[in-house]
Chains A and B, each alone.
Chain A
Amino acid sequence: MFRHGRWLLLCLLCQSAGAAEPDPLNSPQWGAMHSRFLKSEPYVFDDNVKVDAPADAEDSLNVPVAFDASALSGIQEIVVVSDLNPLPHVLNFRPKTVPASLAFRMKLQQGSPIRVAAKTADGVWHVGSTYVNAAGGGCTLPSVGTSSGDWSKTLGQVSANVWERAENNRLRIRVMHPMDTGLASGIPDFYIENLNVKDAQGNLLAELDLYEPISENPMLSLDVGKVTTFKLEGRDNNGNKIAAEVAR
């Protein structure tokens, strides 16, 4: 009996050494997020990935989120997921020559953790988290554009601006698009899938994959080094192209 007990203890020790860190937000879906979106690869919860969102969402259709993982070096890709959203995958961001920071707005169906996972060159995901409480309903409503029927007049139009700053210029982009989630009855999913940010010479600065939870008429803010003129290229899931040039 005693011998068995010792083995049991040893096994428990082995397990805890092998198991990943416990989720600071204690979410029932973190395990699923890890296997589904981070492919069960090694991860650490890391305060170097700062995630900023209000603790209470005032508007479940437009929850502002910003992240900054620029304290880490060698970032290959950043994945944003929201554990308890019916569509958890929010976006991927691959900064090439610009800092690993981004601000965007998203739809929440209920209060949920929001995770920003940055994969470094050693293959480890560095995960920052925050929790946003929300009245919800953000994902199952038709977009304003689709409800009013006038989305097609402005589809894919870009408005933007560039602010010159001491360290990093700020680029803000707004692309007109319904970003329908497919969860409102009779309205199929219709969203921008991909958006690349290039400089005037065509050098790739950052790649973005957007998913259904991104708010209608996506508004994005990036820190872009000293670049002042940009090309934006992208497309939605129906093959509509986005192509625009932005200058100060």
Chain B
Amino acid sequence: MKIWWLTLLLLNGAVCANDFDYALQPQQIAADTYVIEGKTEDFSKANGGFIVNTGFIVTREGVVVIDTGVSRRFGEQQRAAIEKLTGKKILRVYITHHHPDHFLGNQVYGDVPIYALPATRDGIKAEGETFSGNMYRLIGDWMRDTRITAPTHEAKAGKETIGGHELEVIALQGHTTGDLVLFDHTTGVLFAGDLVFNNRAATTPHATLKAWLQTLDSLQALPFKTLVPGHGNVTNDPVPITQTRAWLQWLETALKDAAANGLDMTEVMQTPIPEAFKDVALAQNELRRSVSHLYPVLEQANLKPAKQAE
């Protein structure tokens, strides 16, 4: 009898350790507006890929969801948390861009229109399966039964009033070729997607730095009261925009200088991170990744055609 109890206890312990619970806790950041803040970490089997900020706006007509997270499990738990908290139906979903941590929960919203920019939809169709395969490698069983679900509706730039909230879709680019920003003029909350990172180094796999820097200027000009970055804490000031800009400018300068000095990739990856970014999570990691993304073009610009001999 005692042994049975012990076995049950052990089994119970094992189940608890692997229940794939993201423990999502929506935080209210403004009237009718909530964010589920992710960790400023890289994908891991320990965090299940809960490294991203998703949000929702509770309007009179229903709930508008911004990004669906990293997996089917995340999407299910996000939707359950929203429905439990609000008791309202989900009206629509917006996907900010085509990176896997932002849209892999889509399949849970099969009965809801999912809006995205055309470039985002195309990116998901082209690269979704590759992203998904890579996520299985990085977070394992957290991904179980996750399937690619492309957005169903095209998000058009402009204002629309939904259930008393004047929402503006702003179509931008820089982080990717399609970066959707959602600005709630009623509350002053700006959902900036991954155009803005806060104390977490910006990622650049599909980035164009020149466009991104221009985009940051236009974001900073908006009359927002609350800023929701794609990764890192929500703020009531534009500091994350300033920080993201400073990081990208430093990155661009560091890589250009390295290319002009004839460094190879592995050497550039070891560039020391400036003191100004000492609190920025994953700085050396993202520098290493950014070298892979951005250095080839810069180094080639520093080579000259050789004289072809006979």
B7 beta carbon closer than 8 Å to chain A: no
Contact of A59 among B267, B292, B305, B309 (CB under 8 A): B292
| Chain B interfacial residues counted at CB < 8 A | 28
Pick out which of these stretches binds chain A: B99-107, B110-118, B211-219, B258-266: B258-266
Nearest chain B CB to A130's CB is how many angstroms away? 10
What are the residues of chain A within 8 A of B303 when measuring CB–CB?
A: 159-161, 172, 174
A62 to B307, CA, bound (A): 26
Q: Are A54 and B305 touching (Cβ within 8 A)?
A: no
Tally inter-chain residue pairs, CB-CB below 8 A. 81
Q: How far is the CA of A247 from the CA of B303 in the complex (A)?
A: 11
B304 touches A160 (CB 8 A): yes
**B293 located at the interface, meaning its Cβ lies under 8 Å from any Cβ of chain A in the complex:** yes
Q: Given A54-B288, A161-B302, A244-B308 in contact, is the A221-B262 Cβ separation under 8 Å?
A: yes
Task: Check B269 for interface membership: any CB of A closer than 8 A.
Answer: yes
| A96 within 8 Å of B (CB atoms) | no
CB of B306 within 8 A of CB of A245, answer yes
B300 and A103: CB pair below 8 A? no
Is A23 at the interface (CB under 8 A from chain B)? no
Q: Complex formed: what's the CA distance from A157 to B306 in Å? A: 8
Tell me if B299 and A243 are in contact (CB < 8 A).
Answer: no
Question: Contact at B264–A172, with CB atoms within 8 Å?
Answer: yes
**With A135-B137, A174-B303 as given contacts, are A64 and B264 in contact (CB-CB < 8 Å)?**
yes
Measured between beta carbons, the chain B residues less than 8 angstroms from A170 are 262
Complex alpha-carbon distance, A144 and B296, angstroms? 15
Say yes or no: A231 contacts B309, CB within 8 Å.
yes
Chain B residues 244-274 with CB under 8 Å of chain A are: 261-262, 264-267, 269
Q: Which residues of A contact B293 (CB under 8 A)?
A: 58
The answer on a CB contact under 8 Å between B267 and A66 is yes
Q: Which residues of A contact B265 (CB under 8 A)?
A: 64, 103, 105
Judged by a CB distance under 8 angstroms, whether A72 is at the interface is no
Given contacts A160-B303, A219-B299, A244-B309, contact A103 B292 (CB under 8 A): no
23 A-B pairs within 8 Å (CB atoms) are namely A54-B269, A58-B292, A62-B292, A64-B292, A66-B267, A103-B265, A103-B267, A135-B137, A156-B308, A159-B303, A159-B305, A159-B306, A160-B303, A163-B261, A172-B299, A172-B302, A173-B306, A174-B303, A219-B299, A231-B309, A232-B306, A246-B306, A246-B307
